[in-house]
Amino acid sequence: MNWDTALPVVFMGLMGLAMLAYVVLDGYDLGVGLLLPRAGDADKDTMIASIGPFWDANETWLVLGVGILLIAFPKAHGLVLGALYLPVTLMLVGLILRGVAFDFRVKAQAQHKPLWNRAFFAGSALAALSQGWMLGRYITGLQEGWPFMLFAAAIALLLPAAYVLLGAAWLVMKTEGDLQRQAVRWAKIAWPPVVLGMGLISLATPVVSPTVFERWFSMPAFIALLPIPLMTLAALVGARAMLNSHRVLGKLCWLPFALVVSVFGLGGIGLAYSLFPYVVMDRLTLWQAASATESLAVIAIGCAITVPAIVGYTVFSYRVFRGKTAPLSYA
């Protein structure tokens, strides 16, 4: 394999990792935002404080992923964002609304604080639904027709539910007392629809995409892929078992979150296998969509600097703010 063929694969992998990191890291704080209306006023402050040091930096991974799509795969960028212009716009509106609400709720007078809490929830819901719709459309290669729209709508509902499960697991890990016990109950409520939705979508995906059907059910690929759904099921069952155990309120409070994150990771591996070598399913391969090799070489230099910096900052911030949540305050 020479540079002409290797560099597009490297950038595709980097883009996939960036988007997976975004879905996991911003997913839990979107989930916390979706859970906000279920909590009391004091607990709302604690929930916001649990994501306070992280939520803004988590979105850096989205910028990285979309940036790589733009500069490394410009043909795919135009095709994807052209077809998804409206949901992308709605997602950005939701993310902006979250950012405004996050800052204003802290400064607002008591009578105005509920307004910004509702705005934070609305922004989280709008962003999560838009991301689910875009994922569904992308998996089906942006094809038109009611089966593909129905599939996208199903994922638009599944992804917020998965975010809620992830957010509740985050709160189990980061909070104590009544809020932690409430988070366990929220996670238990979110678990069944996530499992049911993942099962139904796993059955529907090969139906709406012949390419995925061929990838999943041809031999020996079927045997090689079998560990992914089995490990996913094991992680989901393990997470539910931990939620039913009193130990989740103690030293093992981190385990449900880790197991749900592993579910997202396994889903990312399965999606990557299903899509490769396409950037847009059945329409554009990564080599057809890639920039010139000389351009990719220059872009690689920039990525060699920026990506370690982003990873380093992310690791550093999570290390500094590890442990249970402290009250959020602005000096």
Q: Tokens 């997470």 appear where?
A: 239
Sign of the dihedral defined by the CA atoms of residues 11, 17, 20, 25, in that order: negative
Over residues 12-68, the pLDDT tens digits come to 999 999 999 999 998 999 999 999 998 887 788 889 888 888 887 888 898 888 888
Reported in sequence order, the residue ranges of the chain that DSSP labels E, i.e. its strands, are 278-280, 284-285
Over residues 183-241, the pLDDT tens digits come to 999 999 999 999 988 888 888 888 777 878 888 887 787 887 888 889 999 999 999 99
Over residues 111-154, the pLDDT tens digits come to 778 888 899 999 999 999 999 999 888 888 888 888 888 888 98
**pTM reported for the whole predicted model:** 0.91
pLDDT band of residue 328 (cuts 50, 70, 90) is low
Q: Which two tokens stand for residue 139?
A: 């998996």
Fold of the domain built from segment(s) 3-320: Formate dehydrogenase/DMSO reductase fold (1.20.1630)
Report the pLDDT averaged over residues 87-109. 87
* Residue 114: cis peptide before it, omega within 30 degrees of 0: no
CA–CA distance, 157 with 152 (Å, rounded to integer) = 9
Question: 276: buried, middle or exposed (CB in 10 Å: 19+, 13-18, 0-12)?
Answer: middle
Please report which helix (H) or strand (E) contains residue 280, including its range: strand 278-280
